[in-house]
Amino acid sequence: MSNEVKVIFMGIVLWWRAQDPGPFVIVPDLASAAEQQHLAVITAAQSDFVGEKCPAGFKSDGGRCVFNLNGAGATGGVQLAFTTTTPAAQPFTTATFCDVPKLQSSATPDLALRSEWTPPGGAKNAAWMDAAGGVARGHIEPCSNTVAGDCPRFASWSVPTPSAGHVVMALSNRANGAPPILALLKGGATILVDNSPRLFAGERAMVHHTEPARLTASQDWCLYYQMIRTVSGQPVDCHGAPPIPDCPPAPAPELLKWIHRLRPSHFYYIGTIACSNSQYP
C-alpha cells in the first residue's frame, strides 16, 4: 500500500512477542549505560506532517522534526501509538521478521521481562509501543564487515492510512503531566525511532558506512539480557552476539534512504548485528 505510514526502529529495541504481557516494542533508556550510552530519539521529515510543521514538543532541525525520548516520559516511559481506522493486520509472522535475531537462552521455562522494563510501568524504559494495529518486518542493511552478514538489523512497523483521514501519531504518558502529543501524518510518511550509541566529539570523522565490527559488540548485545529473567526470577547469562539469521533477501532501499536522511549526525553508525533490534521469543 503506497500511502501506508512506516515507523523504522533502529538500535537497541526489544520486540517482546509473548502475549502475556505483550506484544510490545520496548525502547530501554540507556542514556547512562556503563557499556555504551545510547540516545533514544524520534525523527521525521517536517513535510511528512499534515500542515508541514513540527508538532508541539518537537524541535525543528533543518527540515526535520526531532523529539528526544530519554527522560521525556513519566514512570514507564513515553507511550507511542499510531492509530488508524483500517482493520488491524496480524504482526510478527515468522517469514517477515526473520532478519531480527532472537535472544538466545538455555533457560527453561521460557524467559520473562523484568518489571523495570515491563510496560506500562517499566521505570527503565524510554518509550514503548503496544504492537497491535500494524505489520512488523525485519530488515538488514548491507555492509562490508569482515564477517559476512554481520550487518545492522532494523525493523519497520507499517500502518495503513485510512481512505479518509490520517494516521495519528500519539505520544502519551509524558513527564510532569504534560498533555499527549497528537500529530497527523500524511500518507506515505516515514518515522524513525532510533536508540543508538552516542557519538562523542572527535569520533565523527572516523565513522563511515563500512566500519568493521566494534570492540564493544558483545557488550552492546548484553544490554538486552539486563531486561529479562527466568520465570522463577533468576538472571539470564548473556550469550554474546547472536548467530546471524539465515533469511531470504529482503531489500528495503526506500527505508535505507530515509534512515540516512533522518538520523541525527551525533549518533554512532551501528556497524554490527550486536546493537540491532532483537526479539523474543
Residues 33-52 pLDDT 10s: 876 788 999 999 999 999 99
Sketch the domain layout of the chain as residue ranges. 5-270
Mean pLDDT along residues 183-189: 94
Looking at this protein, which amino acid is placed at residue 23? P
Distance of alpha carbon 1 from alpha carbon 4, whole angstroms: 6
- Assigned C-alpha cell, 188: 506515505
87-97 pLDDT per residue, tens = 555 555 556 78
Higher per-residue pLDDT: 86 or 220: 220
Which among 31-35, 227-231, 264-268 has the top mean pLDDT? 227-231
Task: Please tell me the pTM assigned to this model.
Answer: 0.90
Q: Which of 168, 161, 145, 138 lies closest to 10 in space, CA to CA?
A: 138
- Predicted pLDDT of residue 272: 81
Query: What pLDDT is attached to residue 203?
Result: 40
Tens digits of per-residue pLDDT, 245-267? 888 776 678 888 888 888 877 66
* Cell representation of residue 269: 553508525
If we measure between CA atoms, which residue out of 208, 155, 221, 183 comes closest to residue 6?
155
**Distance of CA 50 to CAs 2, 59, 182, 255, 277, Å?**
17, 16, 11, 21, 30
At 86, the pLDDT band (50, 70, 90 cuts) reads low
- Whether the Cβ atoms of residue 199 and residue 266 lie closer than 8 Å to each other: yes
Which cell goes with 139?
530488515
Partnered with residue 41 across adjacent β-strands are 68, 194
> In sequence order, what E strands does the chain have?
5-11, 14-16, 24-28, 38-45, 59-61, 64-68, 78-83, 111-113, 125-130, 135-140, 153-159, 167-172, 181-185, 190-197, 228-230, 278-280
